[in-house]
A and B are shown apart, each in its own frame.
Chain A
Amino acid sequence: MQSLFPLGWGHYLEGGLLIGLGVSLLFVMTGWIGGMSSVFSSTWSFVSTRAFFQQARFVDTRAWRLVFAAGLVLGATVWWAWMGPIEHLQTGIPLWQLGAGGVLVGFGARLSNGCTSGHGICGLSSMQWPSLVAVLTFMATGALAANAVLFLGGH
Chain B
Amino acid sequence: MSVSKFLAILFSGALFGFGLALSTMISPEVVLGFLRFQDYGLMLVLGGAVCVTLLVYQLAPRILSRPLLDDNFAIRPSLLDRDTILGAAIFGLGWGICGVCPGPAIAALGTGNWDLLVALAGIAVGAYAQGWLKDANQ
Interface, chain A (partner B; CB < 8 A): 4-7, 9, 11-37, 39-41, 43-44, 48, 50-53, 63-64, 67-80, 83-84, 88-93, 95, 97-131, 133-135, 137-150, 154-155
Main SS class of interface, B: helix
The winner among A64, A100, A142 for most chain B CB atoms within 10 A is A142
Given A31-B71, A72-B103, A95-B115, does the pair A100, B87 have CB atoms closer than 8 Å? no
Q: Are B130 and A75 in contact (CB under 8 A)?
A: no
Choose among B40, B45, B115 the residue that contacts A16 (Cβ–Cβ < 8 A): B45
Question: Could you write out 26 A-B pairs with CB less than 8 Å apart?
Answer: A7-B24, A19-B19, A22-B16, A22-B17, A24-B52, A25-B8, A26-B12, A67-B6, A74-B13, A74-B110, A75-B107, A77-B110, A78-B17, A92-B29, A101-B119, A102-B122, A108-B126, A109-B101, A111-B83, A111-B91, A116-B102, A123-B78, A128-B76, A141-B92, A146-B35, A147-B36
Q: Which residues of A contact B132 (CB under 8 A)?
A: 50, 52
Q: Are B126 and A12 in contact (CB under 8 A)?
A: no
Q: Are A14 and B23 in contact (CB under 8 A)?
A: yes
Main SS class of interface, A: helix
Considering only CB atoms, which chain A residue lies closest to B90 in the complex? Answer: A108
- Cα–Cα, bound, A20→B129 (Å): 30
Q: Are A105 and B102 in contact (CB under 8 A)?
A: yes
The winner among B20, B78, B86, B95 for most chain A CB atoms within 10 A is B95
Closest 3 CB pairs of A and B: A71-B13, A102-B122, A15-B23
Q: Are A113 and B135 in contact (CB under 8 A)?
A: no
Q: Which residues of A contact B116 (CB under 8 A)?
A: 91, 98
Q: Which residues of B contact A40 (CB under 8 A)?
A: 102, 123-124, 126-127
